[in-house]
Amino acid sequence: MTILTARVPDELAGMRLDQCLAEMFPDYSRSKLQTWIKAGRVLVDGEPMKGRDKLDGGEEIELDAEAEQVVEYDAEDIPLDIVYEDDALLIVNKPAGLVVHPAVGNWTGTLVNALLNHAPSLDTLPRAGIVHRIDKDTSGLLMVAKTLQAHSSLIEQLQERTINREYLALVKGWMTAGGTVDEPIGRHPVDRKRNAVRRDGKEAVTHYRLEQRFKRHTLIRVKLETGRTHQIRVHMAHIHYPLVGDQVYGGRFQMPADCTPALAEALRNFKRQALHAAKLGLDHPETGEYCEWEQPMPEDMQNLIQLLAENELDQA
């Protein structure tokens, strides 16, 4: 048994307790949550309530959850680049090309399989402790909870937007200044594998600032306020600065003029989005202390940046 605590967000005010729990603890089934409510294992401001009782928002929820196996994937001996680890938290530097969660076409060889081999007890946590994800072809920092308490804390911090997530992205085009993209994102109306900016989408806010400019490319630092699927890729393409190498949102490949042979070859062979989760900051789920980690760009992105800089010198 373990106690999960969370505050009811104001936007859930007026909803039934069982509905609120389904929103706040989405990794547990509605039937399981109903069972726990009836068993008195859910307290609202210290008192039991019925599932149909409505909440005002701001209440403190205590959920006495069971530590049971909820992940049934196989453990696999896949190397992990562990940046930080203690009894509650694991920070991993994910390489590009590694899928995070098993799914159709990738039931094995994923980060989840690797985590279950590294820490078998993660099979009692929703999604093996992973509370957010980055795309297969994006590299960088990813946080993993090792206890239910830590899982609840990280989910709450994500909901309250207090976790600092910064990315480095190489985009096509010469940007003149940083800015913010505040445009809702939803499923593409035609291609269901893609997302798009659309009026009926979910709120999505992306802040970006310039790091380094080249003649036809710009390296930017991006800070996420929200965490929608493909958010950076969709937003940058929307403002006509798609990511280099993005096979989904980058449009048809066009070789820039005045490239050295080495740069031309590198751009032609860069087959993933040039995106790296460079910085991650959060309040430690046990101590409350603010912690921050940073990882440099992987070699393929660094090489591309170097070739772009050398190309500038050759054209000077």
Active site residues: 135
| DSSP-assigned states of every residue in 182-242 | E--EEE-SS-TTSEEE-TTSB--EEEEEEEEE-SSEEEEEEEESS--TTHHHHHHHHTT-P
Which residues are CB-neighbours of 21 under 8 A, at least 6 positions away? Answer: 28, 33, 37, 42, 61, 63
Distance between CA atoms of residues 232 and 274, nearest Å: 11
Which residues are CB-neighbours of 151 under 8 A, at least 6 positions away? Answer: 4, 27, 125, 126, 129, 131, 145
* Sheet hosting strand 47-48, strand order edge to edge: 2-7, 60-65, 42-44, 47-48
Q: Are 278 and 293 in contact (CB under 8 A)?
A: no
Give Cα 67 to chain centroid, integer Å.
25
Which residues are CB-neighbours of 261 under 8 A, at least 6 positions away? Answer: none
Sign of CA dihedral 232, 233, 237, 243: positive
Residues 224, 230, 232, 233, Cα dihedral to 10°: 180
| Closest-CA residue to 247 (of 136, 160, 89) | 136
Q: Which two tokens stand for residue 311?
A: 């190309």
Residue 117: other Cβ atoms inside 10 A: 15
